[in-house]
Amino acid sequence: MRIRSFEDADWLAVYAIIREVIAGGETYAYDPDWTEQQTRDVWVEPEPSITVVAVDEDGTILGTAHSGPNRPARGSHVSTASFMVSAQARGRGVGRALGEYVLAWARSAGYHSMQFNAVVETNTVAVKLWHALGFRTIGIVPEAYDSKSHGLVGLHVMYQKF
């Protein structure tokens, strides 16, 4: 598996992953009724942000991530990122590879730190991964996410200083 920059030709595969994850109702508060264009506008942001894909040896897109400033102007020294992995690729280290790539990119781009604004507390695989990659949970917003299978659950705010 390798991580590379997103290309326009990747969009349909990336869009399929995003639709699958949103439909699951367990990790992202994205609107399942968004159009394809609305979804693309949220996921493929202009510079200074990046969008990347994880691809298998045969070119199959396994997952995607995007990263950039968490806030504009006076908050732009802090980065953020989002990650999605296809159901077929979960458990193969794709999320870790994307996380390591994005963290290295943010450091090299001169960001001071990275903040995740909303990691669903019942997404224990992600919470464990981000802790393993050096993030701390600095707060939990109670009942801030309406999980399809768990009802109202908390959102972790996670942080890592570089």
CATH assignment of the domain containing 139: 3.40.630.30
Task: With cut-offs at 50, 70 and 90, classify the pLDDT of residue 152.
Answer: very high
| Residue 153, pLDDT score | 98
Average pLDDT of the chain to the nearest whole number: 98
142 preceded by a cis bond (ω within 30 of 0)? no
pLDDT (mean) for 137-150: 98
How many angstroms separate the CA atoms of 137 and 116, rounded? 9
Tell me the β-bridge partners of 65: 52, 83
Q: Which domain holds residue 114?
A: 2-161
Contact 158, 140 (CB under 8 A): no
| Residue 127, pLDDT score | 98
pLDDT (mean) for 23-45: 97
φ, ψ for residue 105 (rounded to 5)? -60, -45
Task: With cut-offs at 50, 70 and 90, classify the pLDDT of residue 9.
Answer: very high
| Domain count along the chain | 1
Give helix 11-24 / helix 36-43 axis angle, nearest 10°. Answer: 100
pLDDT digits (tens, 9 = 90+) for 70-81: 999 999 999 999
Lookup: tokens for 83: 């990650």
Q: Give the DSSP letter of residue 20.
A: H
What's the pTM? 0.96
| Residue 49, pLDDT score | 98
Task: With cut-offs at 50, 70 and 90, classify the pLDDT of residue 45.
Answer: very high
